[in-house]
A = this chain, B = another copy of it.
């Protein structure tokens, strides 16, 4: 346990769907460019077990579209939620677990009881993350409301003031804050 990251877990099933053969598979240079990250970052993510690309017999990394999507997700979790890579690892592992659950869910040998249990687990994992995100969203909403209140105060001053008849630099209203909801 410890090297079981994503591909290791998914490989327990005999290969299913998305990672179909005959895909382009980019080298690290092209992958880095397309994912808008550095090659170093890709290697680093792999080192932390966030990403496990395929590799050639010679040991060169080959990235699938799925891998690129995973990188995009990592960046999203970094920049949007401000999670660090360890926390992101947890999220990704959960999502992998969910994918794995979907597989054994399909398996006919799985009992109904087991299916129920798996589904519950799956939802529980996702709702964890959802709570985090929702909290952040609420906080941001509050922040924005505060900002809008301040702006409105200034804007009120503006209208209460007799504007200087012919203002030479009147290049239109930027937008109506608080009015776009």
A interface majority secondary structure: helix
Count chain A residues whose beta carbon lies closer than 8 angstroms to a beta carbon of B: 47
Interface status of A113 (Cβ within 8 A of chain B): yes
Q: Which residues from chain B contact A20 at a C-beta distance below 8 Å?
A: none
Q: Are A116 and B175 in contact (CB under 8 A)?
A: no
Contact B150 A80 (CB under 8 A): no
Contact of A140 among B80, B122, B154, B175 (CB under 8 A): B80
Residue in contact with A137 in the complex, picked from B79, B137, B163, CB distance below 8 Å: B137
Q: Which residues of A does B touch, CB under 8 Å?
A: 76, 79-82, 98, 105, 112-113, 115-116, 119-120, 122-124, 126-127, 129-131, 133-134, 136-137, 139-141, 143-144, 147-148, 150-151, 154-155, 157-158, 161-164, 167, 169, 174-175, 177
